[in-house]
Amino acid sequence: MANRLEGRVAAITGGSQGIGLAIAQRFAQEGADVAFCYRSNQAGAKEVATEIHTLGRKAVGFQCDVGRVADGQKFIADSVAQFGKIDILVNNAGLERHADFWDATEEDYDAVLNVNLKGLFFITQAFVKHRMQAKAGGKVINISSVHEELPFPHFTSYCASKGGVKMLTRNLSIELAPLGITINNIAPGAIETPINSKLLNDPVKLNALLGNIPLKRLGKPEDVASMAAFLASSESDYATGTTFFVDGGLTWNYQEQ
């Protein structure tokens, strides 16, 4: 594996499981030290840190609820204190809640929007302030979703949050360019992670979903991690304000029989 991230420090939200975990591992394999946060999976967080240590890299897991702005700001401040700097921010933490629109509650709406959009907004702001102080550029990678573009009935709060992230990224690409900071989204399709464990355990729904994926398989967290590693490395220096789809062809799969 290439060592494209040697000497860099990455901060990853939601790093104890799923896509965030795969990104933490992949970044460490490519030479980065990793600060990550987790909400409740302390055992998972410990395992990740230990595994990264065996790769010869530094890793620290911080407990943090990304939905609370003060927690997110503290995650960035604590990471900078521990590692001296952060070069790369990966906004990965996210959640979704299923409900018919007319049944969706304020609590569910807040849970989704607070983590997926508001938390991401203020963690990114804290990261940008750190890079401004350091007088150095940086990279922001948001784990969005195909649903920043594609409807997902019964998940309207989730789609609204991801659509928001799409516009945030476009806006900030312009505002942050003079600072040497790039910002891009990865839009995963259906990836085998805890966020869709219900679906993975329902053979009927799973088969229907597979029918929509031209590459005929679910994605693996590693499929997303390799794109993240590219976006974190200097190989992506000229890319900003855009979304990279990693979805097995799901998004544009329209066919007439």
Residues with a known catalytic role: 158
Q: Find the residue with minimal CB distance to ligand BGC.
A: 145
CB of 236: closest distance to ligand BGC in angstroms?
A: 22
Helix %, strand %, coil % of the chain (to 5) = 50, 15, 35
Q: How far apart are the first and last CA of the chain?
A: 43
Torsion sign, CA atoms 112, 115, 116, 119: positive
Q: Phi and psi at residue 34, in whole multiples of 5°?
A: -130, 120
CB of 171: closest distance to ligand BGC in angstroms?
A: 22
Q: Binding ligand BGC by CB under 6 A: which of 196, 236, 240, 243?
A: 196
CB of 63: closest distance to ligand BGC in angstroms?
A: 23
Upper half-sphere CA count for residue 15 (Cβ side, 13 Å) = 31
Q: Which is nearer to ligand BGC, 72 or 189 (CB)?
A: 189
Q: Extract the tokens encoding 193.
A: 């992670």
Residues in region 111-150 near ligand BGC by CB under 6 A: 145-147
Do 187 and 166 contact (CB within 8 A), yes or no?
A: no
In terms of DSSP H, where are the helices of 86-211? 106-113, 120-133, 156-176, 197-200, 203-211
Q: Which stretch binds ligand BGC (CB under 6 A): 80-88, 106-114, 194-202, 227-235?
A: 194-202
CB of 124: closest distance to ligand BGC in angstroms?
A: 20
CB of 190: closest distance to ligand BGC in angstroms?
A: 4
Q: Extract the tokens encoding 79.
A: 């990471």
Do 73 and 123 contact (CB within 8 A), yes or no?
A: yes
Q: Which is nearer to ligand BGC, 17 or 79 (CB)?
A: 17
Q: Which stretch binds ligand BGC (CB under 6 A): 9-17, 19-27, 113-121, 195-203?
A: 195-203
Binding mask 4-43 for ligand BGC (x = CB under 6 A): ----------------------------------------
The residues that touch ligand BGC, with contacts defined as CB under 6 A, are 96, 145-147, 152, 189-190, 195-196, 199
